[in-house]
Amino acid sequence: MHVDRRPREDSSVAASRAPVRRAAVAATLAYSTRDSEPWRIVLRPDACELHADPGRWLAARDPFGRSLTLSIGAALLNARASLAADGITHDVVRIPEPANPYHLATLTVGAPTGPGGPATDARLADWGRRGLARHRLDPDRVRPIGDDELELLDRAVATTGASLHPVAADVVVVCTKADGAVHWLTAGEAVQMLVLEAATHGLAVAEVIDDRALSMPRGRLVQQLRGAGHPQVVLRLGAGTAGVRGRRRSLADVLVARPQDW
C-alpha cells in the first residue's frame, strides 16, 4: 500500500494563496510616475514582497528614487485594498530590509475575518470590490471640483498620514510630515488613496509633469506650501474617461517566485 509521505500544506496557508495572488495582480494596476510601472512582486504562499525594479527606474529624472518609491507605495495600497475586499487581515512591513533599497514593503496575510473577527478597513474593502483600475483624464470635459469633494479627498489622503493641499482650481499637492524613503512610500499610498476616492466622484488623477501646465512655477508652489510639510507630488484632478487604464507590463514579467528570478 502506497503512503503519501509528502508534507501537507497548512490549510490556512493554502487558503491564502489565491488572495495573495489577487492582491499582487491588483498592485500592478496602481498609479506610477510617468506610467513606468517600476515594480516586481515576489509571491509567497502567505505573503507578497513589493520590490522596485531597477530596470524601470527613471534615474535621470529621479536621482534619489523618490518617485520610484512613491510608485511602489501606490501599488502597496492597491494590494491592501484587494485583501480587504477578500476579508483577509494583513500586516505591512515598510522598508523590511534597510540594506536592500529595492525591497520596499512586505504584505503578510492573516486569517479571513468572520462576523466576530477583526475588522478590515471598510473603505479599502469597498474600493477593492468596485475595482482598482485607474481612469484617464478626459481632456474634452471641464469638471469643476467642489469644496465638498476636496474635503472628502483630503480626508481619504489623511488616513495614510499624508496631507492634501489645493494650489489651483484643479491642482493639488500631496505632502508628508518628513522626507525619507518610508515617507515616499506613504506618499504613494496617499496618491493611490486619492485615485480611488476620486473615482467614486467621477474624477481622475494625473501627474503634472510639464511645469507649463501649472498656473505658477513649481518653486512658488512649494513656497506656498511652506509649513504644510514636504511636498512629494503635484497632481491634476479632472473628469475621468469611461474606460479604464490597463497595465502596460505583462503579469509574467512582474510576478515572480523569488527575487533572483529577474
Mean pLDDT, the chain, rounded, equals: 86
Mean pLDDT (whole number) for 164-190 = 93
At residue 120, the pLDDT reads: 44
Checking if the pLDDT of 117 tops 50, the result is: no
| pLDDT score recorded for residue 91 | 92
- Whole-number CA gyration radius for the chain: 19
pLDDT at 188 > cutoff 90: yes
Amino acid identity for residue 142 in this structure: V
Whole-angstrom CA distances from 258 to 41, 198, 218, 262 are 9, 35, 41, 8
pLDDT at 86 over 80: yes
pTM over 0.85: yes
Say what the pLDDT of residue 247 is: 83
For the residues 45-74, what does the mean pLDDT come to? 94
Is residue 175 within a helix (H) or strand (E), and if so which, with residue range? strand 171-176
Confidence class of residue 24 from pLDDT cuts 50, 70 and 90?
A: very high
